[in-house]
Chain A
Amino acid sequence: MNIAVLIKQVPDTETKIKIKPDQSGIEEGDIKFIVNPYDEFAIEEAIKTKEKIPGATTFVVSIGPERAGEAIRTALAMGIDKGIHIVNNEPALDSYLTAKVLHGVLKERNISVIFSGKQAIDFDHGQLTQMLADMLDWPCVMITESFQLKEDKSGAKLVRRLGGGAKEIYEIAFPFLVGCEKGLNTPRYASLPGIMKAKTKPVEKLLVSNYLEGQSAFVSYKNYELPPERMAGKKLEGEPQIQAQSLVKLLREESKVI
């Protein structure tokens, strides 16, 4: 049985993003890259599932430039068996084209389940998994916060979080896709022996350009800008009545919302 995990390398959440002077993208020089945090839940769930199924194999797939190799090796160090690095040197893929390439690479690989993060924290699109599900014509459960393999290992019981504390419970037979949410598990950290072992695990290298099938992106990026800086707050002083009065005055005269 094959278990796949989709991962993306994204800028560290603590990184200060700088825009290139020509606004064509972000400056990568000083950025630290990490595995998309939601993908770590996907990696962990894949490893846990594999541990319950004798003979199962896990592999990670990532589309990205050369540097994305580090994300793949991180997953291998955590315990994934193999990697597929789909090297992308033409950066402008949109979600559709990304799904298209992944579909081309994954459709013939006899996969039972594909884990992914529910979204990548760089662009926050949150739509790739669903698009890939559509192309594969497989079911897909997003925002999954619980995954339980069925006794006979023919599928799983999944819990999907809805707003207001409600939950949806699914029972699905393989194959299907899972979009992982925080809380699904606690991702393990790579141990040093794990990192050393990862060095000898195979990573298959493919090229994005071989899977485009003549298609191009629907979305093109014109230019990048940082969001406007938040303005300094105002502190209202005095008795509650005075504060309320000055608040009303500000809302009327300055921000003109009432």
Chain B
Amino acid sequence: MSFFLGVVSSGVATGAAFALVATGFVVIHRVTRVVNFAQGVFSVVAGMLCAALLTLGLPHFLAEVVAILAAIAAGFGVGLVAIGRRGTPPLASLIITLGVGVLSYAVVILLWGDGPVSFSMLQGQVDVGGVTMLWQYVLIVAATAVTFGALMLFFNLTYVGKALTACYSNPHAARLVGIDVRRMGLLAFAIGGGLGGLAGVLLTPLQPVEFDSDVSIAINGFAAAIFGGLLRPGTALVGGLVLGVAEALVSGYSRYASLQSGVALVLILGIMVYQAGRRPEGAE
């Protein structure tokens, strides 16, 4: 029983981080209609940079904050190349983000080498209702909860948040009222970068990152995101948690821990086939 709960708690923690990545996909897709395949890069960059800063002697928290700020800047930069030119069709932007992802390998390897990188997690564990949870898990869950709360407030209560929603709801009308849809898209990319970066600094102590870890991170985030059709952050949160727990159970109870990475892909295929069968009636 306690093994089961331990597996679930680790699944919830990684799932929460997937949900952050997923929300990055969702925020960018909602505002720009671009599926940002460079979403995993933000986590890799933040994780690697954070490790490097810690090695240089920066204290925890400060290192994480700087790494997340760098990820925000990276998000903005990816946005600039992906949607910076007026009238770039979303499909072209998508290809550009794929290219940026591959290009990032060169940059990451030049800066930090091609080996796995990690850093120490929050030490110790805590007893939550009979389940011992690593403090790192608690940290991930708490950071995710706070982030989702902040995003909800931002999108539902602030004027800029509503303008972002307006860009998704009706881009033509958004332009007519004077909203600079392209600038809003860049803002969305920056937010997506920050979310990916946060996931990166939270996950790296649990799963060391390499230059090409962006693929598995992006696949997990994407699988969680398409739970809500790439449009609903709330559903992406549920998707992330389900996926995290499912993967933890597969690696905890099967003889082949590496099967875990297949879970997200199976999920993606399942959801896509299901949605493809549904599309004709309920056009999004």
Q: Do A and B bind each other?
A: no
Residues of chain B at the chain A interface (Cβ within 8 Å): none
Residues of chain A at the chain B interface (Cβ within 8 Å): none
